[in-house]
Amino acid sequence: MKKVLITGGAGFIGYHLARNLAENGYSVDIADNFARGVKDNFLLELSNRRNVNLLDLDLLDKTSFETLDTNYNMVFHLAAIIGVQFVLKAPYDVLSKNIKLLQNAIEFSRKQKHLERFVFTSTSEIYAGTLRYFTLPIPTPETTPLAVTDLSESRTSYMLSKIYGEALCLHSGLPVTIIRPHNFYGPRMGLSHVVPELFRKAYFSEEKELTVFSPDHQRTFCYIDDAVKMMRILAESEISAGEAFNVGNEAPETTIKFLAEKILKIAESNLVIKTGPVTEGSPSRRCPDMSKTIRTTGYTPVVSLEEGLKRTFHWYKTNVFLNDGNSAI
């Protein structure tokens, strides 16, 4: 049985990735310091499987890695400071800690005896500078030249940590695959993201209106089950080493207002949409060119936006809204 380590594995992507890997015959170690991820019943139930192990580790302390084995076949590095509100409050920590986390993971991975792949989760934010200052092709291919936004902007810190992180990986000497996630959504992703946040407002609000920020901004959304399946297949692929891949959906491209309308309908809410201001630093469009990923994996996402939103609402209504449960941040 091949062995996998997922750093930051208690969060949204990590949990679903761990479940997918475990269901496909891997032995999975989930490492996290639980600064943001939560030990909810879903994570604990997953960790009770015979091939899943939950590890409480401070990954900023490289000595923590010394407690781990040296026989991992794959390392998925997901640990990072993410989320707009955290990035705006502590840009220095985003830059310094995200790089330190990655360096510790790379140094640890270099000691592995049978490492087949090191997977680094980058971000779709790396295209934001090109969109602002130059012509960004939409859908956006991985070969797009990258530019950064003003270095004094707090939001630039996250993008820059990921661009620098991609460079570190490519020069690390490891068999690296870089993932650029595009708007993943689904159960257990916390309430600080657009889809669950709108569902929460639609379900609980006693107001007559729902304020939608950046209503004309356009996005494509990818349901988490499709996303982690693509990530696993890319990690297993021999030809993906040394390459970067968009992971997401190329269509349909929808406005945030249209997304809100679908959410209100699914939640059976009578709220009326009120146009809010544009969120500072938010890209006006984000849509990945998925041709390279689909060609490499042979997989095309199958969960429609309508179906994915219904599944997401059902999970939040059942586990969070009605039962006041926790959800990964």
Known catalytic residues are 158
Residue type, 124: S
Contact between 38 and 329 under an 8 Å Cβ cutoff? The reply is: yes
- How far is Cα 217 from Cα 278, in angstroms, rounded to an integer? 8
- How far is Cα 154 from Cα 198, in angstroms, rounded to an integer? 25
In three-state form (DSSP H/G/I as H, E/B as E, the rest C), the secondary structure along 56-122 is ECCCCCHHHHHHCCCCCCEEEECCCCCCHHHHHHCHHHHHHHHHHHHHHHHHHHHCCCCCCEEEEEC
- How far is Cα 105 from Cα 172, in angstroms, rounded to an integer? 11
Cα 90 to chain centroid distance, Å, stands at: 20
Cα 227 to chain centroid distance, Å, stands at: 9
Cα 128 to chain centroid distance, Å, stands at: 16
Q: How many CA atoms lie within 13 A of 59 on its CB side?
A: 31
Contact between 10 and 35 under an 8 Å Cβ cutoff? The reply is: no
